[in-house]
Chains A and B, each alone.
Chain A
């Protein structure tokens, strides 16, 4: 079996750890690193009988993830201290949110930038407050800056001059020019406050955002990690609330995300054996391409299947903006010498 297939099996709780040889582990570890899932795997196999060197590496990885989580939560607190005095409320998104709520998908999860959501009408004030508190622009390029401001769902990324950490300030969860427009006001108004003056999306919105981020926004680069998040989120939420799936259905429809959310559920079922309700349990031939894309990784950690990747890359831009705008954007980026647009 392929390294990535074995990785998925181990994450899903299938697969026999004892049957794996040293060369299998080489591939699993590289594939897991490439998919940012090594920490997750290290947590899943915490009590398994492992080769000594793998057990040591997993212990290192868990310790590193614990430090990184602490640093990420500190960064959220820094943002709170910058924004709260101005009366600007914000909602934590993605990895930092999962860690703040201590959700099961946060165990060992790598956290990149701090992602926050502020109401559209507070965006300008939030930007100013962060600049005053020591964050600075990363992109100096005027076109990129304008591109973010006019078309994207977030400000151009800011980085803190002392702590060297990035913050992405979102005002919604999909680009403004995207074919789908989620209800950003509902995202903010139904957010759930947690300890420490922070807030999270409500469970259904969290699942919607996860699916949107994976399937509607990007080219599925790193999608396996997002799918794992989705799997754990819906599994935990459904265990806590019997009516969760019904609410998720309604909420996804309200945001225009029912296709993405249903596909995420089916893909999670196919790869991680997520238990999904019968109404969701259908078969779609096109899912096959998504599964292939999610598993396009070899035992050396290399991306495989370049044509499929390219197809998903084009798809991501097709979804993101209308064709004339896309043409103009690609033309500008190409003239500037960057082969890959933002």
Chain B
């Protein structure tokens, strides 16, 4: 394709091609600090394309394609090309990756052990992980956490964090503006602004961490912590995994081990400060 770039996030090497320069330029600036091995073939290919040649210029709209596609996915306006690229990359991982058990979860790590936060969008898992990652924690990822079936370790997927709506202001107040991408206002997912993870988190992206806590956050309501059993954690995580079924027995074994070895809690919190305090409290108890 006319414009292209390569990005390595965690174990996945992406190749992204585009009919337009802008999305590639935006990706290049967002991922400038990531390692780049030009000699490595791509694991996953994303295509951002115009459905008809004239739609490159005339009301340009970006279709998301690649090795794996969602039929009938709606295109995005060119101004949201970066979001299209992000969605395309997520899609390749969600539908194509088989080396690890994929959890739709954010994660942070400290001393080689990880807190995995799984929840639907709006649960605040990305925001909590991003904010923790600005403190003493290593951000492992805001979207996917990969579990290695052999070892049971969690692996990082530290793509640029996708901050949404209220989370944008909260993070903007704390980080160097150079680490923020352009504001994408009024996307189908609301306002979006990307946060580049800290350099140390990117440098450590291949270091595995042993899961120490499984948290299922819910934003809103009074602060609350509830321990949940292995069975409930298992069911919640199978729903949060895009490749659990496809992995067959290996997926079952990895998931079973994860919920047996890792204490799991649902948490509710009214604001980020309270959420972070709960994570720290459970962490202190879990590693004691």
When each residue 212-230 of chain B gets 1 if its CB lies under 8 Å from chain A and 0 otherwise, what string results?
A: 0000000000000000000
**Interface contact A26-B247, CB-CB below 8 Å:** no
**Interface contact B98-A300, CB-CB below 8 Å:** no
Which residue of the partner chain B has the closest CB to A163? B245
Q: Whole-angstrom distance between the alpha carbons of A307 and B102 in the complex? A: 40
Partner of A34, one of B41, B49, B67: B67
Interface residues of A in 65-87 (CB under 8 A from B): 67-68, 70-71
Residues of chain B with a CB closer than 8 A to A64's CB: 98, 246-247
Which residue of the partner chain B has the closest CB to A33? B67
Interface residues of B in 56-80 (CB under 8 A from A): 65-68
Residues of chain B with a CB closer than 8 A to A26's CB: 15, 41-42, 45
Q: Whole-angstrom distance between the alpha carbons of A56 and B100 in the complex? A: 12
Q: How many residues of B contact A (CB 8 A)?
A: 25
When each residue 306-339 of chain A gets 1 if its CB lies under 8 Å from chain B and 0 otherwise, what string results?
A: 0000000000000000000000000000000000
**Interface contact B43-A300, CB-CB below 8 Å:** no
Interface residues of A in 8-23 (CB under 8 A from B): 22-23
Q: Whole-angstrom distance between the alpha carbons of A264 and B13 in the complex? A: 37
**Interface contact B246-A68, CB-CB below 8 Å:** yes
- A22-B45 contact, Cβ under 8 Å, with A56-B99, A71-B248: no
Interface residues of B in 30-69 (CB under 8 A from A): 38-43, 45, 47, 49, 65-68
Q: Whole-angstrom distance between the alpha carbons of A26 and B38 in the complex? A: 11
Closest chain-A Cβ to B16's Cβ sits at a distance in Å of 10
Q: Whole-angstrom distance between the alpha carbons of A30 and B15 in the complex? A: 10
Residues of chain A with a CB closer than 8 A to B13's CB: 53
Contact count A vs B, C-beta below 8 Å: 60
Q: Whole-angstrom distance between the alpha carbons of A148 and B15 in the complex? A: 41
Residues of chain A with a CB closer than 8 A to B47's CB: 300-302
**Interface contact A29-B17, CB-CB below 8 Å:** no
**Chain A interface bracket (under 10, 10 to 19, 20 to 34, 35 or more):** 20 to 34
Q: Whole-angstrom distance between the alpha carbons of A300 and B15 in the complex? A: 10
Residues of chain A with a CB closer than 8 A to B171's CB: none
Residues of chain A with a CB closer than 8 A to B67's CB: 29-30, 33-34, 301
**Interface contact A67-B41, CB-CB below 8 Å:** no
**Interface contact B45-A53, CB-CB below 8 Å:** no
Partner of A60, one of B39, B41, B98, B248: B98
Partner of A29, one of B38, B42, B99, B246: B42
**Interface contact B41-A25, CB-CB below 8 Å:** yes
Is B282 interfacial (CB-CB < 8 Å)?
A: no
16 contacts between A and B (CB under 8 A): A22-B39, A25-B41, A26-B15, A29-B45, A29-B67, A34-B67, A51-B41, A60-B98, A64-B98, A67-B246, A67-B248, A67-B250, A300-B1, A300-B17, A301-B67, A302-B49
The list of the 9 closest CB pairs from A to B, nearest first, reads A25-B41, A67-B248, A60-B98, A64-B98, A33-B67, A22-B41, A30-B45, A60-B99, A26-B42
Q: A22-B38, A26-B15, A300-B1 are in contact. List 12 more A-B contacts (CB 8 A).
A: A25-B41, A26-B41, A26-B45, A29-B41, A51-B41, A53-B13, A63-B98, A63-B250, A67-B250, A70-B248, A302-B49, A302-B65
Show the binding face of B for A, using Cβ within 8 Å.
1, 13, 15, 17, 38-43, 45, 47, 49, 65-68, 97-99, 246-250
